[in-house]
Amino acid sequence: MSTLETKAGGAPAPSAFIPGSLSDIFLRLLALAFIDAFALWFIYQLIDDGVIYLAITIGIITLLLNVIFLWEDLYPLRWMSPGLALIILMVVYPVLFTVYSAFTNYSDGHILTKQQAIDRLQQDQYLPEGGAAYSWTAYRSEAGEYVLWLESDDGQTWLVRHGEAIKKATPGENGIGPADEKGIPQNIAGYERLDRINVVRRLTELDTLEFGEEPQIIKIRSLDEAAELQSKYFYDAEQDAMVDRQTGTVYRPVEGTFTSDEGEKLRPGYQVWTGLDNFRRLATSPALRGPFIRVFIWTFIFAFMSVFTTFVMGLFMALVFDAPEIPGKKLIRSLLIIPYAIPSTISILIWRGMLNEQLGVITKVMENVIGWSPAWFSHPTWAKVAIILINLWLGYPYMMLICSGALQAIPTDMYEAGEVDGAGIWQRFRYLTLPLLLVAVGPLLVASFAFNFNNFNVIYLYNEGGPPIAGSITPAGHTDILLSYTFRQAFASGRGADYGYGAAITIIIFTILSLITLFNFRYTRMLEEVSENV
């Protein structure tokens, strides 16, 4: 059957593939060809480095773009395709990679893939027994090529280039210039001698070069010495092991680390699948037997009080400035939004300075007025009060904005009916304003609770979770929330960054927060039922 089917009436129907004029089709195919060619090259590089999952993600994105631009029914999505590609790459992939990492040993020392770890280990070098060492002088051509002048301890001299065998050489012969007072040629035909300063500048480049040819390879060892160095380790694919050329020791893979029979390990290691090990480690960790419950409870209190105080203050401000007789309320509202416009990082640091126990403005004013000021940083309770106070300053403008909008949507005739029935101000607020307001802002309160449940910035920037909990089995502070507490365990415990363990804890926190959010949304649906009866 032809790709063009016939509609009723004899008119040909458009193809399901590649709609548009010939020029449009040609340009589209040409653009896709460039995209596909680049994607294939990039995927090849990722696979070569062992980054398989990212390569699969790039392949899926590329396939999606081809389907969108070649399939008629999906062609309207072409304007959204860059956004969809970025969502997959910047949101979906990191989430899936976090879940994957929770079941691996991904950590400091195990960041690389296996192939990358092998390549890194094979860069280690040693001077074999009987290998010669030389003092060296470098010469560079205008094309960026190098040649080395070598001198052994017994005074013999050689010239060596990349890819050519080492040759004995004498100053003043075969294009080699006359020697200086140290016996080193002042120049070599086509090459300019590098002084000490230029050698230091180009030492990183020189370190990567190999001079001579197998089996006599010369590599620069230091500023003063070049030697016949060899790779210390080589990978034996048959037994899947690294072999030490110098000692003959065989290192076999054990949980992502090449390990000898005597237990000696080679670094770096590489990522491997460890199953539920990170979750077992979390369940048996002293962290759970230590201050975890205390931190868990404070996390709920912190999130609830942050939402409650900001909502109460925001609603109060919205009600005050909803009154028509308030003069200059537009200007005042604009000024009240300033805390929301300033980056939270700056605001937190400013508050930290104002609450400083020695020099803070608030502390000094309280001492001068009442002769006393709280220990905002060293006392557990007052440190928590300070954090909630800072979060109130940061969050009330947002609540004021959403409450102002929600109040405008409440019909005024309901208040008029309430007045006729004899309802006072408090009764109208309690039975009319608040239920209808909560229906509108309820989901936003849930979102705010979820945000503050993981509000790492205000905790860490104010006091890094302090003051410390005395006698704690694991490092923890009185103001630590779950996220900052797990940050301590996974990244600040002195063992280096343990990304797999951190990812496992993240999944647990996500599960807890999901259950809380589901419960809160169930409660907001109850509010909707209440509003229907208002």
Dig out the tokens for 377 from the structure: 């940083």
Boundary residue ending a domain (101, 133, 167): 101
Residue 279 lies in a domain: no
Distance between CA 523 and CA 528 in Å, rounded? 9
404 shares a domain with 513:
yes
Boundary residue ending a domain (57, 86, 101): 101
168 shares a domain with 136:
yes
Query: Residue 495: its pLDDT value, please?
Result: 63
Tell whether the model's pLDDT for residue 19 goes beyond 70. no
Number of helices (H), then strands (E), in the chain: 21, 14
Q: Is the dihedral of CA 199, 200, 205, 209 positive or negative?
A: positive
CATH number of the domain bearing residue 35: 1.20.58
Which one of 105-114, 306-315, 338-347 scores highest in mean pLDDT? 306-315
What is the number of domains present in the chain? 3
408 shares a domain with 295:
yes
Query: Residue 16: its pLDDT value, please?
Result: 55
Query: Residue 417: its pLDDT value, please?
Result: 76
- Give the containing element (helix H, strand E) for 394: helix 380-408
323 shares a domain with 455:
yes
Note the pTM of the prediction, 2 decimals.
0.68
Distance between CA 129 and CA 112 in Å, rounded? 32
CATH number of the domain bearing residue 372: 1.10.3720.10
Query: Residue 348: its pLDDT value, please?
Result: 92
Tell whether the model's pLDDT for residue 32 goes beyond 50. yes
Q: Are the C-beta atoms of residues 145 and 254 closer than 8 Å to each other?
A: no
Alpha helix stretches (DSSP H) within 50-89: 52-70, 81-87
Question: 257 falls in which pLDDT band (50, 70, 90)?
Answer: very high
Q: What is the DSSP letter of 250?
A: E
Share of the chain above pLDDT 70, in %: 92
Strand order in the sheet with 250-254: 233-236, 241-244, 250-254, 257-259
Distance between CA 256 and CA 263 in Å, rounded? 14
Give the C-alpha distances (Å, rounded to integers) separating 453 from 307, 333, 519. Answer: 10, 28, 15
Calculate the average pLDDT of the chain: 84
Choice between 493 and 444, residue whose per-residue pLDDT is larger: 444
CA-closest candidate to residue 395, choices 444, 463, 464: 444
Choice between 278 and 530, residue whose per-residue pLDDT is larger: 278
Residue 226 lies in a domain: yes
167 shares a domain with 79:
no
129 shares a domain with 94:
no
Q: Are the C-beta atoms of residues 459 and 481 closer than 8 Å to each other?
A: yes
Question: 175 falls in which pLDDT band (50, 70, 90)?
Answer: confident
Choice between 226 and 8, residue whose per-residue pLDDT is larger: 226
Distance between CA 278 and CA 284 in Å, rounded? 10
CATH number of the domain bearing residue 163: 2.40.430.10
197 shares a domain with 309:
no
Question: 5 falls in which pLDDT band (50, 70, 90)?
Answer: very low
Q: Are the C-beta atoms of residues 310 and 391 closer than 8 Å to each other?
A: yes
Contacts of 265 (CB under 8 A, 6+ apart): 251, 257, 258, 259
Q: Which domain holds residue 85?
A: 22-101
Residue 278 lies in a domain: no
Query: Residue 21: its pLDDT value, please?
Result: 67
473 shares a domain with 377:
yes
Look at 241-255, 385-399, 506-520 and tell me which has the smallest mean pLDDT.
Answer: 506-520
Look up residue 467 and give its amino acid: P
Look up residue 165 and give its amino acid: A
Tell whether the model's pLDDT for residue 8 goes beyond 60. no
Contacts of 403 (CB under 8 A, 6+ apart): 311, 314, 315, 317, 318, 319, 437, 441
121-160 pLDDT, tens digit each: 988 888 887 778 899 999 999 888 999 999 988 888 989 8
Q: Are the C-beta atoms of residues 428 and 410 closer than 8 Å to each other?
A: no
Distance between CA 254 and CA 265 in Å, rounded? 9
168 shares a domain with 292:
no
